[in-house]
Amino acid sequence: MKKTYITTSIAYVNAEPHIGFLYELLAADVLKRYHQSQDTEVFFLTGTDEHGIKVAQAATKAGKEPQQFVDEVSKKFEQLGKNFNINFDYFIRTTNPDHQKFVQEKWLQLAEAGVLKKRKYTGLYCSGCEAFKTEGEIEGGKCAIHEKELEKIEEENWFLDIQNSKLEIRNWIETSVFPESRRQEVINILESGAYDEVSVSRSKERYSWGVPVPGDEGQIMYVWVDALFNYISALEINGKTDLWPADIQIVGKDILKFHAIIWPALLLACGYDLPKKLLVHGFINVDGKKMSKSLGNVIAPQQLLERYGVDATRYLLFRQLSFYDDSNFTWEDFDRVYNGDLANGLGNLVARTIGLVRSSLEPLIRTIPKVELPVFPDFQYDLATINLLINKADQHISKHRIWVKPEDYTKEIAELANLIWEVSDRLEPFMPETAVEIRRQLTELDSKPLFPRLKTETL
């Protein structure tokens, strides 16, 4: 059997889960279910990134020890899986001792490969990014992302030299990073030289919540080095190292350079193959603004769950948000599409079809064929093809005015039932429970409302 290894990024646990990470998890889950429908065995990895100064600060603020804090927050991320029917196969936590041991082994391998150097360094540091900022990343003396004053810091750190692998990394980006529009962006960063040497450790004095650098007591690994290796440590832990290189790694655009520059550099230095595909998704804005705690516009997954239920939330996120570009979330849009596409659209269509089958075909019901495994060669995150099928089924009913005398239209009604069956197959990766329920209703001719109409359209 063909095997596929899919990863999401691991969530940083300095804050609670929001819909951005839910979206990424669902994207991987939909992909997993799609591949499974094509007879492929899938290993789907996600988890939490639990080290770093921001996590330590968040723990202090919450009045907790870092370990207790990350234990609690990571549970909330893991729970997202259960709440939204997301079938990941393993949830890696970077505080897992096996992971930490693995990362330390990799560090020694990097040292042996001669790509680590220790030297004095003076730089402008953003505690928001947990990184030294380069010229292009500074605006008016502040971090361009966090608009925070930068700290001038001098310390002795370990650096990763990526210059020998730049050409190989560039070639890999050109074929493996998606969408294409992100390739030039990250090639420009690579070619600028800003990452020729990456600081990969921090002085323990400033930063102690992390994996110790083996053989250098004063230093802690930079959180990204620790985090990136999760994609392989998780395979070690599960006895599945044959799955490397990953087939698909899904990440947000904000961490593109870590995954398209530092990650391949680490892999090449340790003698690993590079991932086959890196899919970079956009951000979800809310009412036209970036989601942020201070604006108070963060959408919690639980709010969607309570309003729409599991499958409808899964559907709406992919129907309304574009995968690669930034998208805008509004409750009004989601309500409108829920009522339009699901309550009035699909839900009504299924109920009508069952009614028609009942009044004309019931004696012949066994003639509705069981559709074999569907093959959808070009998987896309948009639901356009499926909605075309639903429209076709609707038109099929109105064109023939089937409802007037259904007994004269047994052939058309059988076709209609087949179309609905196909719709359910195609919807299955997005709405797994609904797909099974549609087929159950069709088979048992037992019509039950799939999507109750929302009573109020605004919150």
Give 125 or 421: the residue with its C-beta nearer to Zn ion. Answer: 125
- DSSP assignments along 278-337, one per residue: EEEE-PEEETTEE--TTTT-PPPHHHHHHHH-HHHHHHHHHHHS-SSS-EEE-HHHHHHH
Give 128 or 245: the residue with its C-beta nearer to Zn ion. Answer: 128
298 binds Zn ion (CB under 5 A): no
The residue type of 275 is P
Give 136 or 215: the residue with its C-beta nearer to Zn ion. Answer: 136
Give 26 or 143: the residue with its C-beta nearer to Zn ion. Answer: 143
Least distance CB 137 / Zn ion (angstroms): 8
Give 130 or 428: the residue with its C-beta nearer to Zn ion. Answer: 130
Least distance CB 142 / Zn ion (angstroms): 8
Least distance CB 150 / Zn ion (angstroms): 8
Q: Taking contact as CB under 5 A, which single stretch among the options 139-147, 291-299, 307-315, 376-384 is the one that binds Zn ion?
A: 139-147
126 binds Zn ion (CB under 5 A): yes
145 binds Zn ion (CB under 5 A): yes
Distance (Å, whole) CA 96 – CA 109: 20
129 binds Zn ion (CB under 5 A): yes
Distance (Å, whole) CA 78 – CA 93: 10
Question: Cβ distance 438 to 393 under 8 Å?
Answer: no
Distance (Å, whole) CA 155 – CA 202: 8
Within 10 Å of residue 345's Cβ, how many Cβ atoms?
18
Least distance CB 265 / Zn ion (angstroms): 22
Question: Cβ distance 52 to 210 under 8 Å?
Answer: yes
Residues in the chain: 459
Least distance CB 43 / Zn ion (angstroms): 34
Candidate residues 81, 128, 179, 309; the one interacting with Zn ion per rule CB under 5 A: 128
Give 145 or 194: the residue with its C-beta nearer to Zn ion. Answer: 145
Number of chain residues interacting with Zn ion (CB under 5 A): 6
146 binds Zn ion (CB under 5 A): yes
Give 145 or 310: the residue with its C-beta nearer to Zn ion. Answer: 145
- 3-class SS of residue 92: strand
| Short-list 278, 434, 239, CA closest to 349 | 434
Least distance CB 145 / Zn ion (angstroms): 4
**Beta strands, E only, 204-290:** 219-221, 248-252, 278-281, 284-286, 289-290
Binding interface with Zn ion (CB under 5 A): 126, 128-129, 143, 145-146
